[in-house]
A and B are shown apart, each in its own frame.
Chain A
């Protein structure tokens, strides 16, 4: 037996070793084992936990594209098209990637005049900036709004268990200014 493993015990048969150490081993090994087990039962599975399910509501958005079909760009110029609602008013297109603070739909249909989008499990609260976002190049930050929600002063309110219905219009040729002008 290498010294590394057991420097204090000269070579002996297994039964001899067991007999020699049994009475010492029992209290020294088993006691910590029992204590450890007790600690396990009391202290397991603590620490970081996923946040509780937040209260949610449903949002139904009716989108109308102005001057259909002339204003639609070719499909190859539409890298992405989404309905997005932000919990804050953005100052830069990079703000569209603050995923903690926004919700977005599945990809919208292309080359349609109207579409109704339903977003389930939307976190409750206020969304002061919402609209249709168009990604116009492969660049990660190449986003622009082509229409904003104006109902209710442009602020969407989602209440727990409630369905909120809004309508809005979008126009590829006349997008709203971005970043939005600062309100006094």
Chain B
């Protein structure tokens, strides 16, 4: 009863705050702010951001460096101008009624952008130098420069992250677990977005061109975001609409190189020919009124793949609408659909026939099962409301609806009825209150509710098909001199079947110690967990390999300790590079994998082991010539041990090196990226009993090269991926992409 009253009061408060937001907008007297942003040498700085701090007002400068913000309610503001490669400048201004205040900025060039912002680690905006966790950030520029096609493509470039097939492996957290749910959580604008059926990451959910940045938190994050964040978090932050209408069109096309080895070509004739890939993306963004705007995106992609029966074509439409309901509040609605038809190559027909899918059938009476043809459709809706209730209080309310529809294809490539496939919905929401009672002290508290509904031909007929969850979370940050301490706690409860719940308390604590203007030391402890998905617990299928349910699966859990140091040593007045070093220790319990049980003659998802992963990571970023030449590199060492068998943990590379360099000279730009990973020390899997040569592994030595030019808003770039044509296994029984080249042409109008 009390809970019901509390919710009723909360709902009333929410309505009142909406109403107040509206009255704020309606009743204010307005002025405006305008001016010009130039470098200290007098060159205009187009694209610089000028914002009124602690409000949602802002503008980006035009080609001649000018900006205009307005109408703005009268009052005192702090105005900030920032541009990549230049020192940020903040001024105090007073806006008066019916007048335009002119403020010009003259920005000092610096060697590196010193204020990198992240939001994942504390659920609020924070300076990257102050956070007590390892976070790598990919910016929109990083994505565009490399013509990143999907999220998994982007993650290849993040130090400490490895993709083993379609499983994201942050500091060895995942290895390869044959379609177990993801041990890394995906957030889109702060909302968890794992698929409702199998708790996997939908890599092509969000159009890459509308991603502002991707933050990768390395280490458990369940105290912040709940289940799934066992090994880390990938947080996709989408763009908002620009100050002026903008259209972006990109087209790309190219091909995979024919198979190099004769024996592979002999087994698959099409492997002798280049295999095409290409796509087109159209984005349009514009303000609709002084307080509203949107972006919309349409993307089509085709990939014939370097493997037989692995082609895919997808059509994606996504939009985001923003309404600034008052100077202190706004509403965002992100929505989209994605339709993908794909053959999915599951495993090969042996190392001597690596381009063809294999079969587990002894004899030719049943068709190949090493591939799966599906029509997969996603639909998502993410509304969010943010309101600065006062100078020290921020309210955020978010909701999500994520639907997935999977239909197997028949021999004529027509989709079978949905009853033969999977329908899944995830829906829920959360409310978060940020409170800053005193400078340096932040308190965050919130409630979250989530439910999923899965109806799949892969689950038994009488299986429960939903797994609702509620959670409460809180976090306290306190700054004491040079030390900043953070403590957080989250309580999650899942209903796993009628009358039975599963609860988990996830604490975290961390501290950062400022060692002068350039260096920060951090200490962190966190816990993570992952509740098994509906499919892991209730799958019943013999379509590919026989697999039976295990309703008694327990959640996977993790604990992680980290000590790190981050620095931006000053050379003269400006930092030349950013360096981040970390030592970490993670302990995992009740890890889940499908295991073959001879007595049942079938596979079953099983809690099979506990493990310890320790190691170190070193990351270096340098803008050698600001805006012209940059370098980044990251090395990760992993010592991963299965504590049950005392052997190395399977599917983990001991050494992982990522490096990249970009060089821009006038209209010409070139770049190179390198990914090196040692071969896993151990590849062990029950699947190797049935799948030919599935016990084989290989190191990875992939180099991507790109060179391009820009002229009058048109940009053309030639990309050569895996330029050395290095042959490797992206996971057991799956050959990684060979050399492929494509030309990317884009224009922004």
Which residues of A does B touch, CB under 8 Å? 1-11, 14, 17-18, 20-21, 24-25, 28-29, 32-33, 36, 39-40, 43-51, 53, 79-80, 82, 84, 92-100, 104, 106-107, 133, 135, 139-141, 143
Contacts and interface: CB of A to CB of B under 8 A. Distances in A.
B273 interface: no
B84 interface: yes
A140 B663 contact: no
Given A44-B725, A99-B692, A141-B546, A24 B665 contact: yes
B363 A107 contact: yes
Contact of B360 (A43, A50, A140): A140
Contacts of B45: 3, 7
Contact of B705 (A36, A106, A141, A143): A36
Given A84-B362, A141-B601, A100 B707 contact: no
B545 to A, nearest CB: 7
Contacts of B695: 100
Contacts of B669: 5
B627 A8 contact: yes
B20 interface: no
Contacts of B724: 39-40, 43-46
A21 B668 contact: yes
Contact of A135 (B362, B691, B713): B362
A7 B86 CA distance: 11
A36 B723 contact: yes
Contacts of A11: 63
B313 interface: no
B670 interface: yes
A50 B664 contact: no
Contacts of A21: 665-668
B748 A29 contact: no
Given A98-B690, A99-B690, A139-B546, A29 B727 contact: no
B124 interface: no
Contacts of A48: 351, 696, 698, 727-729, 735
A147 B141 CA distance: 67
A51 B382 CA distance: 50
B152 interface: no
A100 B353 CA distance: 13
Given A8-B627, A14-B711, A3 B723 contact: no
A6 B666 contact: yes
Nearest to B693: A100
Interface string B724-749: 11111100000100000000000010
Given A1-B713, A32-B670, A50-B264, A104 B363 contact: yes
B727 A47 contact: yes
A79 B365 contact: yes
Contacts of A2: 46-47, 713, 748
Contacts of B83: 3, 7
A38 to B, nearest CB: 12
Interface string B691-729: 111011011010001010011110100000001111111
A33 B707 CA distance: 10
Contact of B701 (A46, A49, A99, A139): A46
B53 interface: no
The residue among A1, A48, A79, A107 with the most chain B CB atoms within 10 A of its own CB is A48
Contacts of B688: 100
Contacts of B689: 94-95, 97-98
B665 A140 contact: no
Nearest to A108: B363
A7 B668 contact: no
20 contacts: A3-B46, A5-B669, A6-B667, A6-B710, A7-B45, A9-B666, A10-B43, A14-B711, A20-B666, A21-B666, A28-B663, A45-B727, A47-B699, A47-B727, A48-B698, A80-B362, A82-B363, A96-B362, A99-B692, A140-B360
B482 interface: no
Given A43-B724, A82-B363, A107-B363, A25 B665 contact: yes
B517 interface: no
Nearest to A11: B63
A86 B467 CA distance: 45
Contacts of B48: 3
